[in-house]
Amino acid sequence: MPNDLDLRDLDEVRRRVVLPVVRSLVRPDELEDVVVDVVLETPPPYRVPGIAPGEAHASVLGLIFDVPESRLPPVVPDQDIVAEEWVSVRIKARGEWVEPIRWFPGDGEAHDPQWLAAGLYSQLQDELAESRFAWGELREGDYELPGPDIPGVAGCDLTTRRPSGPG
């Protein structure tokens, strides 16, 4: 399927990507709500650590431990950082909101629904396994993605399936 999905068209994102994937992993008796909306996010301010030798131990992840807060420089706000619009997908199942999944829509470029669906599927699998109601379960399911809605052509829908198996 070509890059034919505009992430700013939330109804199409919900219809073509989100609902098929969510329904493949969350049972109907569990699913309470699916919200696809636009959120504004501003990245947090950052620190530029200036650490004296012997006071820090770098971890594998690059985090710094054992440094008193008073020894760290103040937070450095970046005047160029502005809030950005992200498409947010939130799912509520059995009374619990699963961690939101977000996509950056870019500057109006079209996106590949198969790619978005595969990413959503993988992220949702991980988030469900960490939820209270599906703790530890690696859920799997098949989904079909409906094609673009063609105005004026009733019932025209190009459907694609998620490839199954390795490959």
What is the percentage of the chain residues whose pLDDT exceeds 70?
64
Domain that residue 47 falls in: 43-80
Each residue of 65-97: pLDDT tens digit?
555 666 666 666 666 666 778 889 999 999 999
Mean pLDDT of the region 148-166:
54
Cα–Cα distance for residue pair 118/8, rounded to 1 Å: 19
Residues 21 and 99 in one domain: yes
Residues 117 and 53 in one domain: no
Residues 62 and 118 in one domain: no
Residues 106 and 143 in one domain: yes
Domain count, the chain: 2
Each residue of 16-71: pLDDT tens digit?
999 999 999 999 999 999 999 888 877 655 544 444 444 444 444 455 555 566 66
Residues 149 and 127 in one domain: yes
Residues 4 and 51 in one domain: no
Instruction: Report whether 15 contacts 6 (CB < 8 A).
Output: no
Residues 62 and 93 in one domain: no
Cα–Cα distance for residue pair 66/72, rounded to 1 Å: 11
SS3 for 120? helix
Residues 27 and 65 in one domain: no
| Half-sphere exposure for 91 (CA within 13 Å, toward CB) | 28
Residues 102 and 22 in one domain: yes
Model pTM? 0.67
